[in-house]
Amino acid sequence: MDNVSHPFYDTLMALTQVSSNKCAGGFQKVFEHESSELRCKMKFAVYLPPKADTAKCPVMYWLSGLTCTEQNFITKAGSQLPAAEHGIIIVAPDTSPRGCNIEGEDENWDFGTGAGFYVDSTEDPWKTNYRMYSYVTTELPKLINANFPTDPDRMSISGHSMGGHGALICALKNPGKYKAVSAFAPICNPMQCPWGQKAFSGYLGSDRSTWEAYDATVLAAAYSGPQLDILIDQGRDDQFLTASQLLPDNLIAVCSEKKIPVVFRLQPGYDHSYFFIYSFMHDHIKHHAKYLNA
Amino acid sequence: MTFNCFQSETVTIRNRLQGKIAEMESFAGHLEEIFLTVEENFGRQEQHLEQHYNDVLQTLSQRYDERAAGLEEEKKGKLEALYNQLLACGQAMDASKELIETAQEVYRSQDKRLFLKEIDLTLATCLEFNTPLADLSDVKTMMDSINVVPAPSAPVINPQMPNSATQTSLRVCWSLFSDDTVEYYELYYRPVLEDMPADSTFSTVKVKETHCTVTDLLPNAQYELWVTATNTTGISPASEKALYMTVPSPPVIKQRECTSCPEAALIRWESGNTNPVDSYTVELSEMGTDGTESSVTESIVAVPTCQCLIQLQTGRRYLISVRAVNIGGPSVRSEAITVSTTGTFFYLLEDSAHPCLSFSEDGFTIFYGDEELPISAMALGDNTFTRCVAVLGDLIPVRGRHYWEVEVDDGTEFRIGVAYEDTGRNSYLGANNTSWCMRHILTPSRHKYEFLHNGWSPDLRITVNPVRIGVALDYERGTLSFFNVDLEQHLHTFHCHFGNYVHPCFGMDNPGALTVHNGIEAPEYTFI
């Protein structure tokens, strides 16, 4: 097998199709691969719109929230129809490394497995595997661009809750890399909320200054780069909003001051679930399409 | 020798005789010709005379009939009167008889004075017929006119020819029946006015030709014309009266009431004529990129009213003008208006404006001054906003896509959006179900934005205050979207099936100004 040494084949061979279903005229697929960044097998979902048969398409990365796998988004969010309409490939990775046999990884629903928080951990015992930030911003895009009909210059990012936090920090830390960004009920200021404090102290240690690199509100205050246009939807009856886990007001205050364009919509009656996400997915895909297809 | 001499003399005589014979032959020819001409002339003259005497006889017999009928009538009257008198006479006789009897009785009686009763027995009817003098002067004129050159017969006036009229002139043509000798014609004309007395004055032109151009007329007016022919003998009877019409004055396009969009233009104009015209013709030509005008590319004819909605191609420039048309033909073109189909273009309906609003000269900047208006200045029309300090725009009624922008400053509290034409003038924009608007509110802590319809707004926060707002209306999809133009940022979309046509609306809740920018191409992102 001298093919193994060939880098292209190396990557290609590493992809294993787990499932493929025709959906909205295109295909919803799930693949498995060996992640070099996370040092474990990872699954990700990819939706290929009908347009991908004949042309290179832009890619929207979707980052899910706490406890999710790649399945929640593709089965509940209703993203495929609008993605097909606008010719956008959607890639939805898992939310953390899995099966790394780290002590305590499965003990909490808001830390460890299913709660990677899209950071590169610096602390033992997590730092070897929990490098979700590098995974979603570097390894995964490379893999996707090598294996699917994408236009590498046109990518965008979105997510929900912890994934909303992930989407915001990816966009704010990499000016110009993502053409558009949006979020559903994101954790806007993790340094100031219980979820974030727990995760950051676990993954990054007790020095709070290192946390700032992964806090959307802090990053926004220091942002300089191409004009952003951030769309955020938030359910007004979201229990985690009331529990001060999400803190959107802090982000809005900073963005107002820094003149970073945000449209923040407080949707009455909606909670934190995928029912809420499903209701506004169309608006978000359209928001991404505006910049991805410009 | 003698013989020879005699012979030569004979030859001479013979030649002379031959010459004479030839002369006589030619003379006889002339005589024959003259005879023929005379005969022909006599024939013609005879015809004329015969016709004329026939006319005279006809006239006389007509007169005779009339007169006889008159006498018959008179005789009948007289006989009736005599009969009546006879009856009366009979009755008088009876009465006399009675009287005689009475007289005899009286005679027999002692009193002898009663017999002297008078009875009137004279005839009341005159026995003479009253024959008026016959006026035979016209017959005499007819007899006198049996002359060498007859007076011309009545000319025949032609009906109006197409394109023979202008705004102030008419070209009139006529002809004669026969080869009448005519020295000149006289053309009479007068305008046909509604309140014209039957014997109103007319004008006359004397011409030698069988046509004439009458000038200095009123535009879009009907004229009655007739013509007579005159020669040395006399004047012909008048022709039939013909009706001609001058063409109308050109219409005047009402620039400020014209509106357009990428697919169409609505042109409105004033007739330019006091009398109604038959119809209007709208002409359009496309302008080249270098500003040159092509020839007329399209005209819309038989437009009955003073407005016309014209379908156009997107992204072009057109010159549009109007002509008024009546039976006499089309007027000259009105002044042209330039229409660009880059974007949607409209003016504000200033008659809908709240009295506190004033407008820049170009009509696109709206001011809400902070000085209080005296009550007297608060003259409110039926169409005027009375509570909300607002004004409507005159959007073209085309169910397509429209886009315009509004420039504001972030210290102005405004309401901008769309409203049905009949939206309540005494309610606030966005407070009812006939208007949709974006509202900016200044609170002590922040800038608040609402997207109001029927008094309800979603709850949203906008971190960068828009100072140039794009408004995109899509009738087909039933959407009204707002954008921060500087950021190309989508702010909100109303989803609503607009059953009626809407108008842009602009309101202010505190003193300030806003400027409408239109006629601009909708950015691509506005209709994703």
Q: Name the closest residue on chain B to residue A263, using Cα atoms.
A: B462
* For helices A7-14 and A140-147, angle between their N-to-C axes, nearest 10 degrees: 100
Mean pLDDT of chain B: 87
Range from A58-62, B83-87, B199-203 carrying the lowest mean pLDDT: B199-203
**pLDDT category of residue B112 using cuts at 50, 70 and 90:** low
| Maximum mean pLDDT: which of A96-105, B106-115, B376-385 | A96-105
Q: How far apart are CA B198 and CA B216, in angstroms?
A: 22
Catalytic member of A161, A165, A233, A284: A161
- Percent of residues in chain B assigned helix, strand, coil, to nearest 5: 25, 30, 45
Asked if A267 reaches chain B (Cβ–Cβ under 8 Å), the answer is yes
Closest chain B C-alpha to A259 CA, distance in angstroms? 5
Range from A209-213, A283-287, B241-245, B470-474 carrying the lowest mean pLDDT: B241-245
Tell me which of A217, A232, A263, A282 to substitute to probe the interface with B (most B C-beta atoms closer than 10 Å): A263
Residue A13 scores a pLDDT above 60: no
Asked if A272 reaches chain B (Cβ–Cβ under 8 Å), the answer is no
Closest Cα to residue B79, out of B91, B68, B87? B87
Instruction: Please tell me the predicted confidence (pLDDT) of residue B120.
Output: 56
Contact yes or no for A266 and B462 at CB 8 A: no
- SS3 state at B105: helix
Asked if A261 reaches chain B (Cβ–Cβ under 8 Å), the answer is yes
- SS3 state at B293: strand
Q: Name the closest residue on chain B to residue A262, using Cα atoms.
A: B463
Please report where in the chains the tokens 């608060």 appear, as a residue: B378
**pLDDT category of residue A131 using cuts at 50, 70 and 90:** very high
Instruction: Please tell me the predicted confidence (pLDDT) of residue A152.
Output: 95
Based on the residue annotation, tell me whether A272 is a catalytic residue of this protein: yes
Report the pLDDT averaged over residues B6-19.
Answer: 89
Q: Name the closest residue on chain A to residue B524, using Cα atoms.
A: A294
- Distance, C-alpha B498 to centroid of its chain: 41
Residue B324 scores a pLDDT above 70: yes
Closest Cα to residue A145, out of A27, A61, A202, A209? A61
Q: Which amino acid is at B143?
A: M
Residue B376 scores a pLDDT above 70: no
CB pairs under 8 A, 24+ apart, for A195-198? A195/A66, A195/A110, A195/A162, A195/A245, A196/A117, A196/A165, A198/A110, A198/A111
b/e per residue, B194-205, with b = 16+ CB within 10 A? Answer: eeeeeeeeeeeb
**pLDDT category of residue A5 using cuts at 50, 70 and 90:** very low
Residue A270 scores a pLDDT above 90: yes
Contact yes or no for B462 and A264 at CB 8 A: yes
Contact yes or no for B463 and A255 at CB 8 A: yes
Interface of A with B in 200-239 (CB under 8 A): 227, 229, 231, 236
Report the pLDDT averaged over residues B5-22.
Answer: 89
Contact yes or no for A290 and B459 at CB 8 A: no
Closest chain A C-alpha to B343 CA, distance in angstroms? 20
B37 or B147, higher pLDDT: B37
A261: nearest CB among B446, B484, B524: B484
- Kind of pairing between the strands at A230-235 and A262-267: parallel
Chain B residues touching A87 at Cβ < 8 A: none
Closest chain B C-alpha to A247 CA, distance in angstroms? 14
pLDDT (tens digit per residue) in B44-91? 888 888 888 888 888 888 888 988 898 999 999 999 999 998 999 899
Helices and strands, counts by H and E, chain B: 2, 30
B134 or B16, higher pLDDT: B16
Contact yes or no for A294 and B491 at CB 8 A: no
Contact yes or no for B458 and A260 at CB 8 A: no
A294: nearest CB among B460, B484, B525: B525
Instruction: Please tell me the predicted confidence (pLDDT) of residue B181.
Output: 79
pLDDT (tens digit per residue) in B336-356? 999 999 999 999 999 999 989
Contact yes or no for A290 and B491 at CB 8 A: no
For residue B433, the tally of other CB atoms under 10 A from its CB is 12
Q: Name the closest residue on chain A to residue B450, using Cα atoms.
A: A265
Contact yes or no for B462 and A265 at CB 8 A: no
Tell me which of A258, A290, A293 to substitute to probe the interface with B (most B C-beta atoms closer than 10 Å): A290
Report the pLDDT averaged over residues A252-266.
Answer: 95
Closest chain A C-alpha to B489 CA, distance in angstroms? 6
- Whether the CB-CB separation of A178 and A169 falls below 8 Å is answered with no
Chain B residues touching A287 at Cβ < 8 A: 490
Instruction: Please tell me the predicted confidence (pLDDT) of residue B382.
Output: 81
Residue B374 scores a pLDDT above 70: no
Report the pLDDT averaged over residues A236-251.
Answer: 96
Based on the residue annotation, tell me whether A165 is a catalytic residue of this protein: no
Q: How far apart are CA B133 and CA B137, in angstroms?
A: 11
Contact yes or no for B525 and A261 at CB 8 A: no
**pLDDT category of residue A7 using cuts at 50, 70 and 90:** very low
Q: Name the closest residue on chain A to residue B492, using Cα atoms.
A: A263
Chain A residues touching B524 at Cβ < 8 A: 294
- Whether the CB-CB separation of B286 and B317 falls below 8 Å is answered with yes
Chain B residues touching A267 at Cβ < 8 A: 458-459
Contact yes or no for B463 and A260 at CB 8 A: yes
Instruction: Please tell me the predicted confidence (pLDDT) of residue B8.
Output: 86
Closest chain B C-alpha to A218 CA, distance in angstroms? 16
Tokens of B513: 């100004």
Closest chain A C-alpha to B390 CA, distance in angstroms? 27
Instruction: Please tell me the predicted confidence (pLDDT) of residue B236.
Output: 85
Closest chain A C-alpha to B460 CA, distance in angstroms? 4
Contact yes or no for B463 and A289 at CB 8 A: no
B3 or B414, higher pLDDT: B414
Q: Give percent above pLDDT 70 in chain B.
A: 89
Q: Name the closest residue on chain A to residue B483, using Cα atoms.
A: A263
| Maximum mean pLDDT: which of A34-48, B1-15, B177-191 | A34-48
Tell me which of B463, B488, B491 to substitute to probe the interface with A (most A C-beta atoms closer than 10 Å): B463
Q: What is the enclosing helix (H) or strand (E) of B7?
A: helix B2-108
B122 or A285, higher pLDDT: A285
Instruction: Please tell me the predicted confidence (pLDDT) of residue B381.
Output: 75
Tokens of B158: 């032609």
Q: How far apart are CA B9 and CA B439, in angstroms?
A: 141
Tell me which of B461, B462, B477 to substitute to probe the interface with A (most A C-beta atoms closer than 10 Å): B461
Contact yes or no for A294 and B462 at CB 8 A: no
Residue A11 scores a pLDDT above 60: no
Report the pLDDT averaged over residues B358-384.
Answer: 81
Residue A238 scores a pLDDT above 70: yes
Asked if A287 reaches chain B (Cβ–Cβ under 8 Å), the answer is yes
**pLDDT category of residue A1 using cuts at 50, 70 and 90:** very low
- Whether the CB-CB separation of B472 and A268 falls below 8 Å is answered with no
Contact yes or no for A252 and B463 at CB 8 A: yes
B490: nearest CB among A268, A287, A294: A287
Range from A26-30, B192-196, B357-361 carrying the lowest mean pLDDT: B192-196
Based on the residue annotation, tell me whether A161 is a catalytic residue of this protein: yes
pLDDT (tens digit per residue) in B426-451? 899 999 999 999 999 999 988 999 99
Instruction: Please tell me the predicted confidence (pLDDT) of residue B489.
Output: 95
Instruction: Please tell me the predicted confidence (pLDDT) of residue A3.
Output: 41
Report the pLDDT averaged over residues B91-95.
Answer: 90
Instruction: Please tell me the predicted confidence (pLDDT) of residue B501.
Output: 95
Chain A residues touching B443 at Cβ < 8 A: none
Report the pLDDT averaged over residues B499-508.
Answer: 95
Q: Give percent above pLDDT 90 in chain B.
A: 45
Mean pLDDT of chain A: 93
**pLDDT category of residue B379 using cuts at 50, 70 and 90:** low
User: Considering Cα of A69, then A71, then A75, then A77, what sign does the dihedral take?
Assistant: positive
Chain A residues touching B462 at Cβ < 8 A: 261-264
A261: nearest CB among B446, B459, B463: B463
b/e per residue, A277-287, with b = 16+ CB within 10 A? Answer: bebbbebbbbb
